[in-house]
Amino acid sequence: MARSMGRLAGACVALGLLCAAILPAHADIKAFNAAVTAGDFKAASAAAAETWPALDKAAPDIAVTAREFAWVSMLAGDPARAQAYTGFLVARASALGPGDPSQVTWRVLDAWAAFAVRPARETRKALADALAARAAIPGKDLISLRAAQALFKDEWDGGRWSEAAAAGDLGAHIAKDFGQAYLDVAYHLEMGSIAATFADRVAADPALRMKELAKRAYVDALSTTSEKLKERLTIAFFTIDAWAEVTNLVLVQDGKKGIPPDKPDTTISSRLTPAPGDPALPECQIVRAASTKQPKYPTGLSFRGWPGFATYRLKVAQDGRFTEIKLMGAAPNSDFASATDKVINDWRWQFAGTARPPACRMPVYYYLAFQFGAGS
């Protein structure tokens, strides 16, 4: 799941509660700005460390500089270096009003840096508390969103399901303030929160919530006019859908009542990625030809005994083969990416009906779903 939450890794700060991580022209800042522009956060962090001692700590814009130095140091993986700036900011926070959004963000930065230096129960709680204060006010804040992602990943990887659910919920709340820009990130965090709730206690309620979340993601993927966002939301949908499948399978496997299935919708993939050509023509129907070679369920999983589900997107080649395989969604883990590497060359597609081009539109992609039994 963590792989789906890394889209903010190289992001610069956006206007809102934060400004861009390019500081006002100043001789000492040139190296920092150049490194940020190039996306070299390690070099930017080093330049900040060289520049900071010489800066006037009473300058009107010094808090902006400290915040940006801290943010870039966190992006560079230098939390100890970031603490020099966050300590300065927190010391100045008393001069601001208690509800000032800058103060809230500074405290998130400081708690995130402390957590990254020493992940422990108390630093995780301090970061969770700072994020809760941040989530209580509106605004666009990549620092807090990235910090929430980091906390969620740590709690999830540690199997602390209740805490992971809370961190995912906070992150989703913060991401939603960005609107469409980070809608897929909000979906992944909300999914993570529900999945952690289910892992904590297998029950029908989170499974039903996961199913409803998949429906929402599907509607948003269909309605967006941005191709880049549509691709990201399509991945979010198939990932959430995989979790919906797995949670329901686990319910049944544990002898509990599963979620009643909806009427099968065979048009999902063709609506998300419609075949090119005249929309008045039907889409050519294809299927994967029978093959004895199937992907194997990955081993060494965190969720031992759980079934798995994965959906792949295959590009349809004219010679009857598939190319450009892409994992679109998987649960309860994302270790399926290489599961088909050894079998795809043996797979072929064939027409499922009598229609042939040009009487029908040839699809560009074929979606293939696999359900894996526990330990299969």
Mention every residue, 6+ apart, whose C-beta is less than 8 A from residue 274: 283, 361
Looking at domain 276-372, does it have CATH number 3.30.2420.10?
A: yes
What is the pLDDT averaged over residues 56-72? Answer: 93
pLDDT classification of 255: cutoffs 50, 70, 90:
confident
At residue 17, the pLDDT reads: 34
pLDDT at residue 22 in the model = 52
- In tens, the pLDDT along 161-208 reads 999 999 999 999 999 999 999 999 999 999 999 999 999 999 999 999
**pLDDT level of residue 27 (50, 70, 90 thresholds):** very low
Tell me the per-residue pLDDT of 215-235, one tens digit each, with 9 for 90 and over. Answer: 999 999 999 999 999 999 999
Beta-carbon neighbour count of residue 157 at 10 Å? 12
Of 208, 168, 215, nearest to 188 by C-alpha is: 168
Phi, psi of 235 (to 5 degrees): -65, -40
Task: Give yes or no for residue 36 having a pLDDT over 80.
Answer: yes
Query: Cα separations (Å) of 179 from 26, 49, 174, 185, 269?
Result: 34, 35, 10, 11, 25
CA angle 336/221/12 to nearest 5° reads: 80
> What CATH code is assigned to 2-177?
1.25.40
Alpha-carbon gap, residue 278 to 119, rounded angstroms = 56
E-only strand ranges, the chain: 286-288, 308-316, 322-331, 349-351, 365-372
- Ordered by start, the domain boundaries in the chain are 2-177, 202-263, 276-372
Q: 50-63: per-residue pLDDT in tens? A: 999 999 999 988 99
Query: Per-residue pLDDT tens for 338-350?
Result: 666 667 778 899 9
Residue 96 has a pLDDT of 66
DSSP string, 66-130: HHHHHHHHHHTT-HHHHHHHHHHHHHHGGGS-TT-HHHHHHHHHHHHHHHHHS--HHHHHHHHHH
Q: What is the DSSP letter of 292?
A: S
Q: Is the pTM higher than 0.85? A: yes
Per the CB < 8 A criterion, the answer to whether 85 and 93 are in contact is no
Q: Which of 50-59, 149-158, 310-319, 361-370 has the highest mean pLDDT?
A: 149-158
